[in-house]
Amino acid sequence: MYSEQWPPYSPQPSPSQPSPSQQHGRADYAPGYAQPGYPQPEYPRPGYPQPEYPRPEYPRPEQNRTEFLYQQPGYPPDPYGYGHPRQDDAAAITITARYFPLAFLLALVKPVVTVDGRPVAMRWREPAVVPVAPGQHHLHAHTPYLLPRRMGKADLVVTAHPGQSVDVEYKAPLVVFAGGALGAPPQRYPGTAAFVALMAVTMVLGLFGIVSTALGTGGITGLRPAAGQTASPSPVVSDIPALPPLSTDGPGLPTDVPDARIPGQGAPGRTAGQTPPAESAGRPRLRDDAPARRISGPGFAASDRTRTMGFAGWPFAFRVPSGWDCDRQSEKRPDARVYVCAADGGTDRSEAALVVLRPCPSACGTAQMDALNAEFFRPTDKPRRNGGDATFVVEEAKGRSGGYELAVTHFFSSTTSAGTENWQVGVAGFAPPNARKNSQRIVNDVVSQTT
């Protein structure tokens, strides 16, 4: 608080100057200002005593309110009272997230990154700059997934210095149960060794499947062994006669229209339970009067599109779904004929049927049946007898091939010009667990045509 004259710089009156009353008149001039058209008179300006007024003082703005309005989280209070950090004290953390190119499904989600518990907006391969106060900060990163829900979790504590930016890189793992990599770039993808081992195993299995298909084995090697793939026959059946050479063995009869089952009685002179004679140079025909046998699952209906397979020299014919075909398998045993029937013209063996025909000795008693069954079924199989006839069944929901399997042997006789001959037919159908009906139809049709 201090005093001064007001208004300032007003000259004090001189005692030698005349008073205003001694001048020409008050209205004739204005003190201190020149009148237009008149020279300024040389009179001293009148002086007046100046009162003393106190000079007001204004308080500083409220510091607390300024900090509340302008202070940013993560920065210390500004010494100047405006809430903004000084430029030379600012720090930042630059974070970049990446995933392996083969894990392209991770592009559907966004990486999750937090700094001191605060989420950061992130995108793959796009750096994110996070302003922070100088000092230590905790970083966390993970990738959203199905199982586990958080894949590749990683944590890191970084120190940010004033006026500097810290570069951090996060890389998602190659396998879901591995942790993530978080640190100074460049970082390596975690789980690389496990990923390489997994890819190598997958390639070996794929190559093995290709080679197996090229060799014509496919899923057949995992099915019941054929007659020529087992050990030498038992002495009980060593006298089984060999089939005559069947040079005319070939594909089935192409009938890409539904096979019509003609109702009515059987052909004249045919004995019930026997198949029609097998002509030496011709092909067998379907038995229209064959009883419908159901070992498991459905059989062919009259409306189903089928294809008849009749091989020269065989005592019976049977049907497969339209589009299927049967291929002759070369066997070392001269007493067996083996065909493999599969979808897609015989090439798609994920769903197939194996048909084996062998003669049974004239007596064809229990001992001979057991010996022939031992060469068709696996040693671990326990075939059950279907009713009172000579039919033996093994059914597995998940067999050695990995899918559904239905294996049946049936002993029957046929009449030829040379007399009555006894046979064993073995048929095994296998398919994926949810597509077993076609294999069941083939097995049921073979048993029906040989009953």
Question: pTM for this one?
Answer: 0.43
Q: What is the pLDDT of residue 28?
A: 45
pLDDT score of 76: 52
Pairwise CA distance, residues 245 & 63, whole Å: 112
Q: How far is CA 182 from CA 114, 133, 155, in A?
A: 12, 21, 7
Residue of 232, 269, 443 lying closest to 355 (CA atoms):
443
The pLDDT assigned to 66 comes to 40
Q: Is the CB of residue 122 less than 8 Å from the CB of residue 110?
A: yes
CATH architecture for residues 87-188? Sandwich (2.60)
Buried b (16+ CB within 10 A) or exposed e, 214-226: eeeebbbeebbbb
Question: Distance (Å, rounded) from C-alpha 374 to C-alpha 395?
Answer: 16
Per-residue pLDDT of the chain (451 residues; tens, 9 = 90+): 444 444 554 455 555 555 544 444 444 444 554 555 555 556 556 666 666 666 666 555 544 444 444 444 555 554 444 444 555 678 999 999 999 998 888 999 999 999 999 999 999 999 999 999 999 999 999 999 988 889 999 999 999 999 899 999 999 999 988 999 999 999 999 998 888 898 899 999 888 878 766 554 443 334 454 433 433 333 333 333 444 443 334 444 444 333 333 233 333 333 333 444 444 446 788 888 888 889 998 999 888 899 999 888 889 999 999 999 998 887 666 778 889 999 888 888 888 899 999 998 777 888 888 889 998 998 888 898 886 678 999 998 887 777 899 999 999 988 776 678 889 999 999 888 888 899 999 999 999 999 8
The pLDDT value given to residue 226? 42
- The HSE-up count of residue 78 (CA atoms within 13 Å, CB side) is 21
Residue 19 backbone class (left: φ over 0; alpha: ψ -120 to 50; beta: rest)? beta
pLDDT of residue 212: 62
Average pLDDT over all residues of the chain: 74
Q: How far apart are CA 308 and CA 330, in angstroms?
A: 22
By C-alpha distance, which of 216, 238, 217 is closest to 375? Answer: 238
Q: pLDDT for 136-180, tens place per residue? A: 999 999 999 988 889 999 999 999 999 899 999 999 999 988 999
Which pLDDT tens digit goes with each residue over 29-68? Answer: 445 545 555 555 565 566 666 666 666 665 555 444 444 4
Structural domain spans, the chain: 87-188, 216-262+271-449
- The β-bridge partners of 11 are none
